[in-house]
Structures are given as C-alpha cells and as structure tokens.
Amino acid sequence: MSELGLCSRREADEWIAKGWVRVDGKVVSELGTKVHPSQRVTVERQAAAEQSKRVTILINKPVGFVSGQAEDGYKPAVALIKPENRWEEDRSTERFHPTQLRSLVPAGRLDIDSVGLLVLTQDGRVAKKLIGENTDVDKEYLVRVQYLKGGKLPEADLRKLNHGLWMDGKPLLPAKVVWQNDDQLSFTLREGKKRQIRRMCEMVGLKVIGLKRVRIGKVRLGNLPEGKWRYLLPDEHF
C-alpha cells in the first residue's frame, strides 16, 4: 500500500486494523498479509475521508527550537503551532483545532541553531515524499559564512562543495553551491545528513555564521515571518 502511494506504512497498519482494506474484495485483518502482483488492493471511503482531514503545516522555525521531540530543555517547533502564532496572511480556509496537533511530526530536520522552512505533517504521504529513502525533493538553504584561512575560498574548494566530499564513510550526492554575495552561499541538496552543511563547510575552511532553509521542492518560505506558521494550500505541491 505504501509502495502504491496510497498511504504511509503506519497508516496502512491503522486502516487494516479498522477493516478498511480489501484484497480482491475480501477484508484483510492480518498485518503483513502477502499480496500477489495480480491481486487488487482497495480501501474503503472512510480511509480517504480521514486522510483528507490530515493537515500539513509550514513554519518559519526560529533559533532555539528543535525540530522533533523536546530535548535538553529546548522546546519543539510544534509548541509554536497555536492560534496566536498563525500568520495573518495565511490564505488557507482551514480552521485550527487542537486535534491537528495529534501525530503532527516534522518531515525532516532543521538544526536548533538554524532558521527557516520546517514542515510538520499528519499526512504519511507527505512525510514519505520528503524524507523517504527514494525522495527526489531538493532543499535550498542560504548560508552566511566566514573563510578562516584568509582571502577568498579557492575555486577548487567551491567545486568540492558541489561534488567530491565524503561524509560518514560515503561520498555525498552532487549538490549545487553558488555564491549569492561576498559572504553568502546558496546550497541546494537532495540529502540531509545531520548538520551536513556545517560539516561540509568545515571541510573547506568555512565557518557558518547563519543558516536559513528557504525552499523544499516547489514550496518556498516566502514572506512567512520567523516564529509564524501557515497551512500548506491545496494547490501547493512539494
């Protein structure tokens, strides 16, 4: 079901437990049931109706908030999702309700000392699209840097940032790294190892002064103010 793009694995488990899944017209109640490629998998309308109620929220995360669970005394970004922090210019007609905070999880990380676009979602399809093993959604960051070796970063090292660095014993995927101005680089990545950009910069003698995620796929941070949130619109797709 997950491979067919119907839902996430967790949602599939829930639907099966509720008796909403049929194989060749027969209700399947046992998790892990084998399905032959020639068999037809269908789900009840209740599943689609429940899925349509699940929200995806975009937040401009400030420094000092962690993406996921609270840790070391720092608050999670989800703590900012309350009516008074909703962006006044949010064009969504969705009405906030506390039930939207249930199972609202970050679809990707953003370091505690980084700011910018963070996606929180109840929709397993969105999470899989953004952080699944085969994701093809790129992410763009604006990174203010200081070169610690004097002068300007050599072109050869800029080329290494684009392709040629290794991390955790593996080569990094090609990236797109270009200068925006004298002290700011734009990074576009298709992977997200822990503190990847900061570690890449350290490898070539750059110190990161500030890091901001401005785009995930086709969805941009835009004018969303720091600390504010809005709903993903029906016509927006990563």
Give the catalytic positions in this structure. 111
Residues 192, 165: Cα–Cα separation, whole Å: 14
**Do 224 and 60 meet the contact criterion of CB atoms below 8 Å apart?**
yes
Residue burial 210-221, b: 16+ Cβ < 10 Å; e: rest:
ebbbbbbbebeb
Identify residue 218 by its one-letter amino acid code: K
Contacts of 36 (CB under 8 A, 6+ apart): none
Task: Give the C-alpha separation, 173 to 178, whole Å.
Answer: 16
* Share of the chain residues as helix, strand and coil, in percent rounded to the nearest 5: 20, 30, 50
DSSP β-ladder status, 115-121 and 206-216: parallel
